[in-house]
Amino acid sequence: MITLVRLIALLCAFAVANARADDLFTNRPAFSPAEVPARESARCDQIRAMAEGLGEPDERIDLSVDGPLTAVQTDGALWYLVVCNLPDVRVMCVTYQSNDMKPGDKVVIKGAYRRVDPNHALLDPCLASPLDGSEANPASPAK
């Protein structure tokens, strides 16, 4: 009897957790659970509103963004690819390769989301690929 009660309690807790996760992503199609493809990528002008009220999630969530690169830099080990400018949220993708992408190239970046401040977000680890659909050689994620 006690085992059955524990099983029912566990199932109820699981159902509540899933309902909260579904609520988290309902009006945020560019956000998704870790390693799950987003329903769609956000444009720069959509990120601020989509992230409104998100806070610091307990578990990793991913964000997918498309737009032109505004900056590409390296420290010799990692590459830092930036999309979006103010007044939109600037998003930095941390990855191992640039794949020869340059500022102005249209890309899609996808990765673990962390809001740094009201105007900046970080995706680390992150994948980046040309927006033209050629994702044959996407940048490897940073670990």
> What is the set of domains in the chain, with CATH numbers?
2-130 (2.40.50.140)
Beta-bridge mates of residue 121: 91, 115
- Judging by DSSP bridges, how do beta strands 106-117 and 90-95 pair with one another? unpaired
- Measured CA to CA, the distance from residue 78 to residue 72 in angstroms comes to 11
Please name every residue paired with 73 in a beta bridge, in sequence order, or none if there are none. Answer: 80
pTM of the model: 0.76
The b/e string for 18-48 (b: 16+ C-beta within 10 A; e otherwise) is: eeeeeebbeebebbbeeeeebeebbebebbb
For the segment 52-57, the average pLDDT, to the nearest whole number, is 85
DSSP-derived letter for residue 138 is P
pLDDT band at 2 (very low <50, low <70, confident <90, very high): low
Give residue for tokens 């009006």: 27
pLDDT higher than threshold 50 for residue 85: yes
Q: 65, 84 in Cβ contact below 8 A?
A: yes
Adjacent-strand bridge partners of 115: 121
Tens of pLDDT, residues 4-40? 666 565 544 444 344 444 578 889 999 999 999 999 9
